[in-house]
């Protein structure tokens, strides 16, 4: 298999090169990707002079088997789709549904603190506000059909950028952990460890490279398909979500990998022929079911490490997927946070954000 996403980072491929929301991007298997919702499919070029925006990369896309699951219609089995309400008047007025004043949102390119104490404060505040914003989105918004609201997008991006900085600065990261609340310190270690492992599998891009990217399917739409695949094959939906996050940032990366892996779950054509069950390698639903089928045949759920290693022959990849899956299991809001992480590409001139605001 082969990988292709961000902060998904194993044999990853880079993603798009333009940052306008609602525009698709292009990503290729050598970079590092970190995905967010709201991008549209389009092609972009990472110029040789691409400048780095973020200090670290916790989101490169590793190479994985290559199933694909986009969402298909006309299927007798319908996945669960969480129901959500429409936005409230309070949100339209710039207040949270609870009546509290909306917090000041971080600028997409605001400087990341370099001092451990300030980093710890920023990560603590950002994570708390992001969780509240996700709660509001799930309660008052429409994650089954619509795009995430601006507070979720901006806070998730800022959180991601902090983690990327910590990935590239191990000594600062160690001093930052000591200043975080215990629960958040554990989460931070998992995210940074996963990002560092995936980053070790990435080859920086040089010269102009095109990446093809498209918007991810709605968060709860994907969640319904993850849960359906879990019921059908017995593979934890959180593991499937973590694989898709690492491979293609929830389907945002659409370019084939440098090894020829294709689709939302990055299947090699021969593997797809054996496990794709006659489906479309580019289809989200078909890809997710094929991934669950392959992982089950390779040892899951009894032995996830063995199954994931079969999916992508890298223990750094295996560890990263399991760390991300653990965080999603601990708090489903981490799934929605990861869903909103942007696509980045690693170049010889630094990291470049390809999606998002």
What residue numbers bound the domain in which 191 lies?
1-357
What's the CA angle centered on 34, arms 54 and 152, to 5 degrees?
90
Alpha helices in the chain (DSSP H): 89-92, 116-140, 150-168, 170-177, 182-199, 219-233, 237-248, 269-275, 284-297, 304-311, 315-330, 333-339
pLDDT per residue as tens, the chain (357 positions) = 654 444 333 333 333 223 333 333 333 333 344 332 222 233 344 433 333 232 333 343 333 343 333 333 333 344 554 443 334 434 434 455 555 666 799 999 999 999 999 999 999 999 999 999 999 999 999 999 989 999 999 999 999 999 999 999 999 999 999 999 999 999 999 999 999 999 999 889 888 778 888 889 999 999 999 999 999 999 999 999 999 999 999 999 888 888 899 999 999 999 999 999 999 999 999 999 999 999 999 999 999 999 999 999 999 999 999 999 999 999 999 999 999 998 898 999 889 888 888
What is the structure's pLDDT at 259?
Answer: 87
- The whole-number pLDDT of residue 356 equals 87
| Separation of CA 219 from chain center | 11
Please give the full DSSP string across 252-302, using - where no structure is assigned.
Answer: TB-SPPTT--BTTTTB-HHHHHHHSTT--TT-HHHHHHHHHHHHHHTTTTT
pLDDT of residue 91: 43
At 105, is the secondary structure helix, strand, or coil? coil
Placement of tokens 């929830």 in the chain: 250
- Report the alpha-carbon distance of residue 221 to residue 210 in Å, rounded: 28
- Cα gap 287→266, rounded to integer Å: 8
- Angstrom CA distances, 300 to 83, 294, 332, stand at 30, 9, 21
Domain count, the chain: 1
Do 355 and 225 meet the contact criterion of CB atoms below 8 Å apart? no
DSSP 8-state assignment for residue 210: E
Beta bridge partners of 212: 26, 43
What is the structure's pLDDT at 264? Answer: 96
């Amino acid at each position: 298999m082969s990988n292709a996403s961000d902060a998904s980072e194993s044999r990853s491929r880079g993603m798009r090169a333009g940052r306008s929301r609602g525009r698709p991007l292009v990503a290729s298997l050598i970079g590092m990707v970190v995905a967010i919702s709201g991008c549209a499919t389009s092609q972009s070029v990472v110029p040789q002079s691409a400048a780095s925006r973020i200090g670290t990369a916790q989101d490169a896309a590793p190479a994985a088997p290559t199933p694909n699951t986009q969402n298909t219609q006309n299927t007798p089995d319908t996945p669960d789709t969480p129901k959500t309400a429409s936005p409230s008047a309070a949100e339209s007025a710039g207040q949270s549904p609870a009546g509290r004043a909306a917090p000041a949102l971080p600028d997409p390119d605001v400087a990341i603190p370099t001092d451990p104490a300030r980093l710890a404060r920023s990560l603590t505040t950002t994570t708390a506000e992001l969780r509240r914003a996700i709660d509001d989105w799930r309660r008052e918004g429409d994650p089954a059909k619509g795009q995430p609201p601006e507070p979720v997008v901006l806070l998730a991006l800022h959180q991601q950028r902090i983690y990327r900085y910590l990935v590239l600065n191990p000594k600062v990261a160690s001093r930052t952990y000591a200043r975080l609340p215990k629960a958040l310190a554990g989460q931070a270690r998992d995210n940074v460890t996963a990002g560092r492992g995936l980053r070790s599998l990435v080859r920086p891009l040089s010269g102009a490279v095109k990446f093809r990217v498209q918007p991810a399917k709605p968060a709860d739409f994907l969640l319904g398909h993850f849960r359906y695949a879990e019921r059908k094959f017995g593979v934890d939906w959180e593991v499937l979500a973590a694989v898709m996050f690492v491979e293609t940032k929830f389907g945002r990366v659409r370019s084939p990998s440098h090894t020829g892996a294709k689709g939302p779950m990055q299947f090699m054509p021969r593997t797809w022929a054996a496990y794709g069950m006659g489906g479309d390698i580019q289809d989200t639903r078909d890809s997710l079911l094929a991934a669950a089928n392959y992982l089950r045949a390779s040892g899951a759920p009894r032995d996830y490490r063995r199954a994931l290693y079969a999916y992508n022959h890298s223990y750094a990849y295996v560890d990263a997927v399991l760390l991300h899956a653990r965080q999603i299991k601990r708090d489903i809001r981490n799934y929605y946070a990861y869903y909103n992480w942007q696509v980045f590409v690693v170049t010889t001139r630094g990291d470049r954000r390809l999606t998002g605001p």
